Amino acid sequence: MEFKLQATDTASAARAGLITTDHGVIETPIFMPVGTVGAIKAVHMTEMREQVKAQIILGNTYHLYLRPGLDVIQAAGGLHRFNGWDRPILTDSGGFQVFSLADNRKLTEEGARFRSHIDGSLHMFTPEKVVDIQRVIGSDIMMALDECPPGTSERSYASRSLDLTMRWLRRGWKHFNETRPLYGHSQAFFPIVQGCTFPDLRRRAASEVAELGAEGNAIGGLAVGEPAEVMYDMIEVVNEILPADRPRYLMGVGTPANILEAIERGVDMMDCVMPTRNGRNGMLFTDHGIMNMRNAKWAKDFSPIQEDGAADVDRLYSKAYLRHLFIAQEILAMQIASIHNLAFYLSLVRQARQHILAGDFATWKRAKLEAITRRL
């Protein structure tokens, strides 16, 4: 994997670049749709390519390991061949999912022992095993195993958690360098900067991560309960230290506003389930504001969902029709809303990139932020 920094905004830390992988080039800043079990919920891969215009998607190590299982994925020749996506894939290590299990997991020096949410069976993730699993999945970018403590953690817990994460990181990095890809394409390994909301812990983690010299780096443990302003502060703290010549990935963030704020602070890559999850519940993000499609105000509004939207569904269907589908609990409603929201997110980061290259990102961002956060 290679990263080329093309431009930095004159009035902010926003950056535009190119990430080159064996499955294609990614223009940054980029939003990455989440396909937890190897599929973007309610959206075909053809729609991901042609309507959403996604350049890279996510899979999840925890979920794919449990179902369909590594034997199936390896027999298929890796996740790309299994799910029909021929562009880059990034896999999360599963650390966040194990963290979410809370009552059904135990962390030790060896790794994370947990019970499957599917059948209660007992499993163990070590830093080395997570690398091996992601070798089998065949993702273009794999993540280190980490612990993701709550955003409201006390300092003593956050410090112990970070120490464990960094020891796991060194083991995972060593194993990554001692193993090879299985399917003929290269794979990159991203360490994750933790440290909760404590600037000194974040700085220490970022410094240790930077010293590894990995092909890219991630910022984890944010958007897990802390106020948005604290999250933005932590991004700034970390990005002052992470190397400028490597892509920076902010994990699990966020709203359209979060994305613009992160880009302004020098983030290159982001992912979140919000566009599809909120879409399935009737919330649409647009260039002009946020719509709740279940509201009665749309019942006789026969104008397009978004006349200047990024996807064909925006002009093909009316607001009234989409509301009708939601009220009738028709599956098509979830498909339309998911495609619309994903296409909007990808359009938003394309617009951001264009304005970074043009040198007026900060000015554009202020006006854009006001437009996309209003309630329609």
> Residue 16 domain-assigned?
no
Write down the pLDDT at residue 225: 83
Active site residue 71: no
C-beta of residue 139 within 8 angstroms of C-beta of residue 38? no
Neighbouring C-beta atoms of residue 106, cutoff 10 Å: 12
Burial of 2 (0-12, 13-18, 19+ CB in 10 A): exposed
> Is 287 a catalytic site residue?
no
CB 90 within 8 A of CB 141: yes
Q: Is residue 13 part of a domain?
A: no
In 3D, which of 141, 143, 114, 115 has the Cα closest to residue 127? Answer: 143
| C-alpha span between 235 and 229 (Å, rounded) | 10
Our measurement of the distance from residue 113's CA atom to the centroid of its chain's CA atoms, rounded to an integer in Å, reads: 25
Instruction: Give the number of domains in the chain.
Output: 1
The owner of tokens 């979060």 is 258
| Contact between residue 176 and residue 139 where contact means Cβ atoms under 8 Å apart | no
301 is a domain residue: no
Q: Domain span at residue 185?
A: 30-272
Q: Is residue 54 part of a domain?
A: yes
Domain CATH code at residue 217: 3.20.20.105
pLDDT for res 102: 67
Predicted local distance difference test score (pLDDT) of residue 97: 78
CB atoms within 10 A of CB 212: 13
Sole residue written with tokens 């040198």: 359
Which residue in the list 9, 92, 146, 268 is annotated as catalytic? 92
Contact partners, residue 375, CB within 8 Å, separation at least 6: 289, 290
Tens digits of pLDDT across the chain (376 residues): 999 999 999 999 999 999 999 999 999 999 999 999 999 999 999 999 999 999 999 999 999 999 999 999 999 999 999 999 999 999 998 877 777 776 778 889 999 999 998 999 999 999 999 999 999 999 999 999 999 888 888 999 999 999 999 999 999 999 999 999 999 999 999 999 999 999 999 999 999 999 999 999 999 999 888 899 999 999 999 999 999 999 999 999 999 999 999 999 999 999 999 999 999 999 999 999 999 999 999 999 999 999 999 999 999 999 999 999 999 999 999 999 999 999 999 999 999 999 999 999 999 999 999 999 999 9
pTM > 0.75:
yes
Give me the phi and psi of 190, to 5 degrees please: -105, 120
Q: What is the dihedral of CA 79, 84, 89, 91, to 10 degrees?
A: -40
Residue linked to tokens 């554009």: 364
Placement of tokens 């794999």 in the chain: 142
φ/ψ (deg, to 5) at 232: -65, -40
- Is residue 288 in some structural domain? no
Q: Which of 146, 268, 271, 314 is catalytic?
A: 271
Pairing of the two strands 217-219 and 192-193: parallel
If DSSP codes are grouped into helix, strand and coil, which group holds residue 251? coil
Assigned domain for 332 exists: no
- Residue 99: inside a domain, yes or no? yes
Domain membership flag for residue 298: no
Q: Rounded to the nearest 5 degrees, what angle is found at the Cα of 136, between the Cα atoms of 185 and 272?
A: 85
